[in-house]
Structure 1
Amino acid sequence: MDDNDKTSSLMWPDLTLPPVSLIEDIRPALIRQEETIIFALIERSQYVLNSSCYLENEKSILSDRVKDAAKATPSPSFSFMDYFLFETEKFQAKLGRYNSSEEHAFFEPEWLKVASNASHKSRIKANNININAKIKHVYLNKILPTMCEDKEDADNYGSTCVCDVAVLQAISKRIHFGKFVAEAKFCAEREKFTTLIQNNDAQGLMEALTHAAVEEKVIERVRKKASHYGTDGSDSSSAYKVEPDVIAKLYKDYLIPLNKDVQVEYLLQRLDRPAYAFPDKKLHRKRNFDELNGKSEDSEGRWQQSREEEAGRLHFGEQSKGLPCVSIREVFRSVSTNKVPFGVVPMEHPSLGLNKATQIALVQSSLKVCACVCLPVEGADQPERYFIIGPIKPSLTSETSQAVLLFATKHEPGSLVKALSCLGEANLNLRCLESIPSLQNNEYMFYCEIDCSKAGFEETKRTLEKLSELTKDVIQVGFYF
Structure 2
Amino acid sequence: MDALFHLRDMIASLDVPLTDDLCARARLPRNDALYALPDVLPADAGALATAYAQSTTLAGRVLLLRPFYVRTVLPALCAPGGGAADRNACLAADAACLNSLARRLALSIHVAVRKREALPDALQAALRTGDPVRVEEAITNLAVEAGVIARVEARARKNGAQDETVRRLTGLYADVLIPLSRKIQVHGLLAARP
- Indicate whether the TM-score tops 0.5: yes
Call closer, same or farther: CA 1:225–1:105 in 2, change over 3 Å: same
Q: Residue 137 of structure 2 aligns to a residue in which SS?
A: helix
What is aligned with 2:89? Answer: 159
What is aligned with 2:154? Answer: 224
Q: Residue 28 of structure 2 aligns to a residue in which SS?
A: coil
Call closer, same or farther: CA 1:150–1:195 in 2, change over 3 Å: closer
In structure 2, what is the Cα distance between the partners aligned to 1:190 and 1:211? Answer: 13
Question: 1:213 aligned to 2:143?
Answer: yes
Opposite residue 160 of structure 1, the aligned amino acid is: C
What is aligned with 1:394? Answer: none
Q: Residue 230 of structure 1 aligns to a residue in which SS?
A: coil
In structure 1, what is the Cα distance between the partners aligned to 2:119 and 2:85? Answer: 54
What is aligned with 2:44? Answer: none
Q: Quick check: 1:45–1:242 contact (8 Å CA) kept in 2?
A: no
From 85, 103, 127, the equivalent of 2:58 is: 103
What is aligned with 1:271? Answer: 193
Call closer, same or farther: CA 1:27–1:47 in 2, change over 3 Å: same
From 8, 17, 36, the equivalent of 1:36 is: 17
Give matches, 1:229-268, under 5 Å.
229-231=159-161, 240=162, 243-268=165-190
Opposite residue 29 of structure 1, the aligned amino acid is: M
Q: Residue 177 of structure 1 aligns to a residue in which SS?
A: helix
Once the two structures are superposed, residues 69-101 of structure 1 have per-residue CA deviations (whole angstroms, 9 ceiling, x without a partner) of: xxxxxx8x8xxxxxxxxxxxxxxxxxxxxxx95
Opposite residue 216 of structure 1, the aligned amino acid is: A
Q: Residue 55 of structure 1 aligns to a residue in which SS?
A: coil
Call closer, same or farther: CA 1:241–1:190 in 2, change over 3 Å: closer
Call closer, same or farther: CA 1:205–1:149 in 2, change over 3 Å: closer
Q: Quick check: 1:49–1:150 contact (8 Å CA) kept in 2?
A: yes
Q: Quick check: 1:219–1:251 contact (8 Å CA) kept in 2?
A: yes
Q: Quick check: 2:76–2:172 contact (8 Å CA) kept in 1?
A: no
Q: Quick check: 2:77–2:169 contact (8 Å CA) kept in 1?
A: no
Call closer, same or farther: CA 1:269–1:55 in 2, change over 3 Å: closer
Unaligned runs of 5+ in 2: 40-54
Opposite residue 29 of structure 2, the aligned amino acid is: V
Question: 1:49 aligned to 2:49?
Answer: no
Unaligned runs of 5+ in 1: 1-18, 57-74, 78-99, 108-131, 232-239, 273-481
How many angstroms does 1:47 deviate by? 2.4
Q: Quick check: 2:26–2:165 contact (8 Å CA) kept in 1?
A: no
Opposite residue 4 of structure 2, the aligned amino acid is: L
What is aligned with 1:22? Answer: 4
In structure 2, what is the Cα distance between the partners aligned to 1:248 and 1:266? Answer: 26
Opposite residue 253 of structure 1, the aligned amino acid is: D
In structure 2, what is the Cα distance between the partners aligned to 1:242 and 1:44? Answer: 14
Call closer, same or farther: CA 1:104–1:208 in 2, change over 3 Å: farther
Q: Quick check: 1:42–1:242 contact (8 Å CA) kept in 2?
A: no
In structure 2, what is the Cα distance between the partners aligned to 1:20 and 1:105? Answer: 30
In structure 1, what is the Cα distance between the partners aligned to 2:36 and 2:131? Answer: 40
From 102, 105, 117, the equivalent of 1:187 is: 117
Identify, as 1 or 2, the structure richer in helix: 2
Larger Rg: 1
Q: Quick check: 1:102–1:173 contact (8 Å CA) kept in 2?
A: no
Call closer, same or farther: CA 1:199–1:225 in 2, change over 3 Å: same
How many angstroms does 1:179 deviate by? 1.0
In structure 1, what is the Cα distance between the partners aligned to 2:59 and 2:117? Answer: 23
How many angstroms does 1:194 deviate by? 4.4
Q: Quick check: 2:123–2:139 contact (8 Å CA) kept in 1?
A: no
Q: Quick check: 1:48–1:150 contact (8 Å CA) kept in 2?
A: yes
In structure 1, what is the Cα distance between the partners aligned to 2:59 and 2:163? Answer: 29
Q: Quick check: 2:25–2:90 contact (8 Å CA) kept in 1?
A: yes
How many angstroms does 1:189 deviate by? 2.0
Structure 1 vs Structure 2 CA RMSD: 2.9
User: Identity over the aligned pairs, expressed in percent?
Assistant: 25
Identify, as 1 or 2, the structure richer in strand: 1
Question: 1:140 aligned to 2:70?
Answer: yes
Q: Quick check: 2:122–2:138 contact (8 Å CA) kept in 1?
A: no
Call closer, same or farther: CA 1:205–1:145 in 2, change over 3 Å: closer
How many angstroms does 1:139 deviate by? 2.4
In structure 2, what is the Cα distance between the partners aligned to 1:43 and 1:241? Answer: 14
Give matches, 1:58-457, under 5 Å.
103=58, 105-106=60-61, 133=64, 135-189=65-119, 193-231=123-161, 240=162, 243-272=165-194
Once the two structures are superposed, residues 142-198 of structure 1 have per-residue CA deviations (whole angstroms, 9 ceiling, x without a partner) of: 332344332232133222111111111212222232111111111112666445333
How many angstroms does 1:210 deviate by? 0.9
